[in-house]
């Protein structure tokens, strides 16, 4: 669901890119497990979509994986500060804190490698009953104490690069053991993760199928765990520009992750960036510089890809772009030039297609257009500078005609918004007299207008 308001924070809801309510649970740490609750480890120890890096079997040259682990272990790439969770319920056996210093080293390993502040940095060991232990290392922060009971939803720490670790390579080093000492390390079994309402067992769920973790090549595949299998909250993110022209993105996967600053400090403070879920644990971003340059960028669940510059430097710095992702994975954006020309563009597995110009160049530049997808169809809503509001739909047959809605007295300074709810499509917009209306499209066509509240809605939002 992407909102097209000019100064509205954009939320991207994973797997719920529809007009539905989203339950947001408290961000505080989950309650401790009752005493005596043990569970065999078998779940991914994080939330979101994360990249699998070095194991003790892969030999990636680019990541120098050969020699990283001479024993069973997995490095999952996480953002700095990303929450870490136990792979099963149990009792905290021991913790190490205050070892936050990073001890960089060269490759390959040598006998002279030293890390006086602790090779594993900050760490937690959880006992899951019997001969089942798990080890979580290189943490930036430890959130639990020795003898504390934990569940799979208890935050035990935050990812980092403490100890003997490549500086800036924020990750979680995960091990399974039959005892608490390093001599009891054992092969790591399947780890389940929730993808929406479905639980998948990794690494077997990776495509192509891998029979064990050691066969998964480094930095080529991601694994996903939403945390609830239908009973938890969805991931989402927002993007916004500060008054100092700095662009920040913040993601939520069970808990808020740290802010990520993107690009140089020259983003338009009058144009809100747009962000949309890609449906696979990542996000697409569109934002406009104060120079009128429009850029898009993709986060694949593990890292941000390169910036993609879109067209010439004459996009409106007062109107906001809007993004949506269809059920087939196609990415669309809509934006207005400073000359009032409105364009859409689509990205597929073949790359970016051409720009599509829509109608005459008299679209309002203070009022931002908005775009949404309903299945494989795409809709946008926009206001002309004469106060006329139009929608237009794209299907497999191409773009349909413009649909004029109501009298030509829609606000040219307030941005309409559009969203889907299943196969239905809704838009909301404000008249220049402050009256706010919604309208719904179904398979039967457009329904009537619905007036909401008194006529005193802002015409400048």
What are the residues whose beta carbons fall under 8 Å from the beta carbon of 337, sequence distance 6 or more? 314, 315, 316, 343, 361
Predicted confidence (pLDDT) at residue 154 exceeds the cutoff of 80: yes
pLDDT value for 107: 44
pLDDT value for 427: 97
Q: What is the mean pLDDT of residues 53-67?
A: 70
pLDDT value for 106: 52
The tens digit of pLDDT for each residue in 255-308 reads: 677 899 999 999 999 999 999 988 766 899 999 999 999 999 998 776 799 999
pLDDT value for 62: 57
Its sign, for the CA torsion 160, 165, 169, 174, is: negative
The tens digit of pLDDT for each residue in 134-146 reads: 999 999 999 999 9
Predicted confidence (pLDDT) at residue 25 exceeds the cutoff of 60: no
Choice among 8-17, 34-43, 76-85, 146-155 with the minimum mean pLDDT: 8-17
CB 347 within 8 A of CB 331: yes
> 403-407 — which CB contacts under 8 Å span 24+ positions?
403/446, 405/429, 405/439, 405/446, 405/449, 406/437, 406/449
pLDDT value for 284: 96
Domains of the chain: 10-22+233-452 (2.120.10.70), 48-225 (2.70.70.10)
pLDDT value for 70: 78
pLDDT value for 22: 30
The tens digit of pLDDT for each residue in 93-134 reads: 999 998 767 776 554 444 445 565 578 899 999 999 999 999
| Average per-residue pLDDT for the chain | 85
The larger pLDDT score, comparing residue 306 to residue 36, is at 306
Distance of alpha carbon 169 from alpha carbon 40, whole angstroms:
29
- Which pair of tokens denotes residue 163? 């100890």
Residue 26 pLDDT grade (very low, low, confident, very high; cuts 50, 70, 90): very low
The tens digit of pLDDT for each residue in 390-438 reads: 999 999 999 999 999 999 999 999 999 999 987 899 999 999 999 999 9
The tens digit of pLDDT for each residue in 159-206 reads: 999 888 888 889 999 999 999 999 999 999 999 998 766 789 999 999
């Amino acid at each position: 669901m992407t909102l097209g308001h000019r100064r509205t924070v954009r939320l991207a809801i994973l797997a719920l890119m529809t007009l539905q309510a989203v339950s947001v649970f408290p961000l505080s740490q989950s309650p401790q497990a009752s005493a005596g609750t043990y569970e065999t480890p078998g779940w991914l120890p994080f939330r979101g979509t994360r990249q699998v890096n070095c194991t003790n079997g892969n030999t990636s040259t680019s990541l120098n994986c050969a020699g990283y682990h001479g024993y069973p272990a997995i490095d999952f790439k996480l953002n700095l500060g990303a929450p870490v969770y136990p792979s099963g319920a149990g009792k905290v056996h021991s913790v190490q804190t205050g070892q936050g210093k990073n001890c960089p080293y060269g490759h390959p390993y040598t006998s002279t490698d030293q890390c006086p502040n602790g090779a594993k940095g900050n760490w937690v060991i959880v006992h899951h009953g019997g001969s089942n232990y798990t080890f979580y290392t290189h943490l930036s922060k430890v959130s639990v104490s020795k003898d504390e009971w934990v569940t799979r939803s208890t935050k035990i720490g935050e990812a980092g690069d403490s100890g003997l670790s490549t500086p800036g390579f924020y990750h979680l080093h995960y091990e399974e053991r039959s005892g608490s000492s390093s001599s009891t390390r054992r092969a790591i079994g399947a780890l389940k993760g929730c993808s929406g309402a479905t639980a998948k067992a990794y690494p077997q769920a990776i495509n192509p199928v891998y029979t064990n973790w050691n066969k998964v090549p480094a930095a080529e595949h991601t694994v996903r765990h939403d945390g609830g299998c239908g009973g938890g909250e969805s991931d989402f993110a927002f993007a916004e520009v500060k008054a100092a022209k700095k662009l920040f993105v913040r993601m939520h996967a069970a808990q808020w992750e740290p802010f990520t600053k993107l690009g140089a400090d020259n983003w338009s403070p009058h144009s809100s960036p747009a962000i949309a879920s890609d449906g696979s644990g990542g996000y697409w971003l569109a934002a406009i510089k104060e120079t009128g340059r429009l850029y898009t960028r993709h986060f694949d669940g593990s890292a941000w890809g390169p910036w993609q510059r879109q067209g010439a430097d004459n996009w409106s710095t007062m109107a906001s772009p809007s993004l949506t992702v269809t059920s087939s994975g196609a990415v669309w954006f809509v934006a207005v030039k400073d000359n009032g020309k409105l364009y859409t563009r689509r990205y597929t597995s073949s790359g970016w297609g051409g720009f599509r110009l829509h109608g005459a160049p008299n679209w309002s530049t203070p009022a931002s257009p908005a775009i949404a997808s309903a299945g494989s169809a795409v809709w946008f809503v926009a206001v002309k500078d004469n106060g006329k509001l139009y929608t237009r739909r794209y299907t497999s047959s191409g773009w349909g005609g413009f649909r004029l809605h109501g009298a030509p007295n829609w606000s040219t300074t307030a941005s309409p918004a559009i969203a889907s709810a299943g196969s239905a499509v809704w838009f909301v917009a404000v008249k220049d007299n402050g009256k706010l209306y919604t309208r719904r499209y179904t398979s039967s066509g457009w329904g009537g207008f619905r007036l909401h509240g008194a006529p005193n809605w802002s015409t400048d939002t």
